[in-house]
Chain A
Amino acid sequence: AQRVTQPEKLLSVFKGAPVELKCNYSYSGSPELFWYVQYSRQRLQLLLRHISRESIKGFTADLNKGETSFHLKKPFAQEEDSAMYYCALSGGGSEKLVFGKGTKLTVNP
């Protein structure tokens, strides 16, 4: 069964501080991992997917198969990064996408 765990429900940092949002997963096959962001009153947007290995808005995430983790990191948080962040997993192709419970990030001035 697919499972995504985001242990932190809330995360608060100051502007300019590094931020790391944790994500651990459980999946028997080769997963595709994603990070989605939801700004206030907006729809879910794709932030990152591990297969593309790109950096979006300064965020990066590395898939660690040994630790079954896909933590999201940014070296210097900005106020506009305040949002809900969801880690998600699929089995690839058009397989269903399963979400973690989300972490609400607040970046304080």
Chain B
Amino acid sequence: GAVVSQHPSWVICKSGTSVKIECRSLDFQATTMFWYRQFPKQSLMLMATSNEGSKATYEQGVEKDKFLINHASLTLSTLTVTSAHPEDSSFYICSATRQSRGYTFGSGTRLTVV
């Protein structure tokens, strides 16, 4: 079955630094990858959609200069939280999909900015 690996599982960083989160599709080529943010006890909020080789499409209200997304290959997408601040602390989840074959989710990354 389709497997998506997300790394790291958790990260603590100092305010002002940048953090990179990787999302890999291990056994399939993902046409599209999605990045979500989940606040405690809340639902997943879609941040952006990324297609391999093209610029990500950000949802309204999501700062693209703050959350940099790179989708360099069909199996890897990265989310970089730049100049992180405590309010960026959250649970970030990626998802990958192949055409009409459903969505597979990573296990998420817990980011804590201190």
List, in ascending order, chain A residues with CB within 8 A of B95's CB. Answer: 97
Q: Shortest distance in angstroms between A46's beta carbon and chain B's nearest beta carbon? A: 6
CB contact between A43 and one of B34, B97, B100, B107 (< 8 Å): that residue: B107
Is residue B28 contacting chain A, with contact meaning CB distance below 8 A?
no
| Complex CA–CA separation, A44 to B43 (angstroms) | 11
CA distance A78 to B38 in the complex (A): 27
Cross-chain contact B49 with A49 (CB below 8 angstroms): no
Q: Which of A43, A92, A94 contacts B105 (CB 8 A)?
A: A43
Q: How many Å lie between the Cα of A88 and that of B49 in the bound state?
A: 16
**CB-based A-B contact count at 8 angstroms:** 47
Q: How many residues of B contact A (CB 8 A)?
A: 23
Contact of A102 with B99 in the complex, beta carbons under 8 Å: no
CB distance from A1 to the nearest CB of B (A): 10
Q: Give B31 Cβ to nearest chain A Cβ, in Å.
A: 5
Q: A101 with B43: in contact, given A43-B106, A49-B102, A92-B100 (CB under 8 Å)?
A: yes
Chain A hits for B102, CB < 8 A: 34, 46, 49
**Contact residues of A with B, CB < 8 Å?**
34, 36, 43-46, 49, 86, 90, 92-94, 96-102
A-B contact pairs, 22 of them (CB 8 A): A34-B102, A36-B105, A43-B93, A43-B105, A43-B106, A43-B107, A43-B108, A44-B93, A44-B105, A45-B105, A46-B103, A86-B44, A94-B98, A94-B100, A96-B46, A96-B49, A99-B36, A99-B44, A99-B45, A99-B46, A101-B42, A101-B43
Given A34-B102, A44-B93, A99-B46, 5 additional A-B pairs, CB 8 A: A43-B107, A49-B102, A92-B100, A93-B100, A102-B43
Q: Which residues of B contact A (CB under 8 A)?
A: 31-32, 34, 36, 42-46, 49, 51, 93, 95, 97-100, 102-103, 105-108
